[in-house]
Chain A
């Protein structure tokens, strides 16, 4: 794995951005994370950046444009249609999970209360994604 895995994370909470980056830093392999504070900013980056991310993580609750709306917009764009999008939230409500998957999310991750748990979850996710390819 010479090329770092590029991740775009839309997360309005800077603490959560930091928690995510700590977790990613404990993963094996190279990860290049880009953070935006909301869905609109994420969409702008996805439209204008020449280099597309390998994975997109969207927080569910964000101002201006929430995770699901952003997910819907992403799925409209042909060049992003193959990029796995993860909805990432404090909530564990089944209705949110169903909603996310219906909109084409690769998976739904409930934010755990321990970084070690998040590391495990992310690790499993990436392994599944690589195996699927």
Chain B
């Protein structure tokens, strides 16, 4: 847009016509004031300004335009008919004019000038636009840089405040920043702390991780400069990514020395303790073995003279005392005592034999019960006893031991019967799901619950824990024979079969012994400690 300023409308018209004929768009003002108003509102590529105008002449208008920052660079062509003297022309240039054309105007020349200025003006406008976009770009970059700087500063201040040794590594692998603590272990920023010779592989490991862009974690010992001592640190270097691109690496050395030393001491202590314990264990095993041997040998060696006492007592009684009733009575008591002693020794022998390890095998408890009942047949008949047994399972067990359990329980039931009541013994078995006395019945259960109950003298349940203890007798020996070992043996055996045993009873109403043990044993050899 070109602004034509002239106080004469005919001048304006001819210029306007000329310029529009050549494709320029124009605007017009008929006075300096009008021109200034327009310049304020719009920017022009060129102003053609008449010098001689009433009120405000062309130079004054140009001066005013110079004062507008927005328009000050707009080129001005002065048109003048009268003032063709040099000083007028000079004033025109100093007023910011670009050219000075005197009237009468040669339209071709004016047109050339207008074209040139217009072109210049367009180029300038473009230049200004480019410049401003460049400026904003520079602004942007400055801002980004500032942000980046403040971020790095933030990172550094965070790293500085860490209790760890912290550092960053650029993508070329060079250390670019370290915090204060670094210098306790290295003189230079670019040099990593010295690692212990045994940890030297860490360098190449890190190189591999660096190349693959993978986080690196490793325990290393590094040398403290002041003490020349190697201390344990946890080295961790992680890649910092932006848009999947590694920007840098941030690394830390965390002090784990205390922890490590404590751990090592602990480990050492545990090792020592374990060694002590295993030594003690061996000692204990030996002692245990000796004790077992002792119990066995003692019982065995006691049997020999006792058997002779019995043999000769019987001989004496049967062959030589037929006519001496008093002597026979004394000897009967001797024989009775020696029989009791023999029972005790046999029970002790059985108990000590339990410590010998043995293997579990498929044991049919029906067979076991039948064997016992046939052994006890005489006593059962003598006592008019009734024994009922339900179907028993086949279990993993030691035949001789399980037999002893049932033998002891059934013998007890026969032994501790009430004087005026025939013994009635019930043996029942059911499969259950858990190793518990109260577990519900389950057809697919992995445990069996066997109950041996009788209608004998029973016992007070407050003595429950005593009945399973070796040499604990609840009953008067004059009335009821017994070694006091039978139930202790039964408990030991059931425990060796990974089972549990308990009893329920009321005095003078009978007793029930409840056994729960697994159908299948996982380890087929029994532990052999007592």
Contacts and interface: CB of A to CB of B under 8 A. Distances in A.
Given A90-B300, A91-B300, A94-B400, A116 B314 contact: yes
Instruction: Report, as a range, how many residues of chain A touch the other chain.
Output: 10 to 19
Contacts of B338: 113
A19 B311 contact: yes
Nearest to B303: A90
15 contacts: A15-B312, A22-B315, A90-B303, A91-B300, A91-B303, A93-B349, A94-B400, A112-B307, A113-B306, A113-B307, A113-B310, A113-B314, A113-B338, A114-B310, A115-B315
A22 B118 CA distance: 158
Contacts of A94: 400
B520 interface: no
B382 interface: no
B244 interface: no
B314 A115 contact: yes
A32 B318 CA distance: 25
Interface of B: 300, 303-304, 306-308, 310-312, 314-315, 318, 338-339, 342, 349, 353, 400
Given A114-B314, A115-B315, A15 B308 contact: yes
Closest 3 CB pairs of A and B: A113-B310, A114-B314, A90-B304
Contacts of A114: 310-311, 314
A45 interface: no
Contacts of B306: 113
A6 interface: no
Interface string A112-130: 1111100000000000000
A113 B311 contact: yes
Contacts of A90: 300, 303-304, 307
Given A16-B308, A93-B353, A113-B307, 13 more contacts: A15-B312, A91-B300, A111-B307, A112-B307, A113-B306, A113-B310, A113-B311, A113-B338, A113-B342, A114-B310, A114-B311, A114-B314, A115-B315
A94 B304 CA distance: 17
B311 A115 contact: yes
Contacts of B353: 93
A15 B318 CA distance: 18
A41 to B, nearest CB: 21
Q: Is the interface of B mostly helix, strand, loop or mixed?
A: helix
Contacts of B314: 113-116
A93 B310 CA distance: 20
A117 to B, nearest CB: 9
A8 B223 CA distance: 88
Nearest to B315: A115
B330 to A, nearest CB: 18
Contacts of A16: 308
A36 B358 CA distance: 37
Interface in A7-32: 13, 15-16, 19, 22
Nearest to B400: A94
Nearest to B306: A113
B526 to A, nearest CB: 15
Contacts of B308: 15-16, 19
Interface in A78-133: 90-91, 93-94, 111-116
Contacts of B400: 94
A118 B314 CA distance: 12
A19 B310 CA distance: 12
Nearest to A23: B311
Contacts of A91: 300, 303
Nearest to B302: A90
Residue among B303, B304, B338, B349 facing the most chain A CB atoms (10 A cut-off): B304
B378 to A, nearest CB: 15
A98 to B, nearest CB: 12
Contacts of B303: 90-91
Contacts of A116: 314, 318
A125 B303 CA distance: 24
B518 to A, nearest CB: 25
* Among A15, A16, A90, A93, residue most surrounded by chain B Cβ atoms (within 10 Å): A90
Contacts of B311: 19, 112-115
A93 B303 CA distance: 13
A123 to B, nearest CB: 17
Residue among A19, A93, A111, A113 with the highest chain B CB neighbour number at 10 A: A113
Nearest to B310: A113
Interface in A22-66: 22
Contacts of A111: 307
Contacts of B318: 116
Contacts of B312: 15
Q: Which of B300, B307, B315, B353 has the most CB of A within 10 A?
A: B307
A103 to B, nearest CB: 20
Contacts of A115: 311, 314-315
B8 to A, nearest CB: 148
Nearest to A111: B307
Contacts of B307: 90, 111-113
A19 B338 CA distance: 18
A111 B300 CA distance: 12
B493 to A, nearest CB: 16
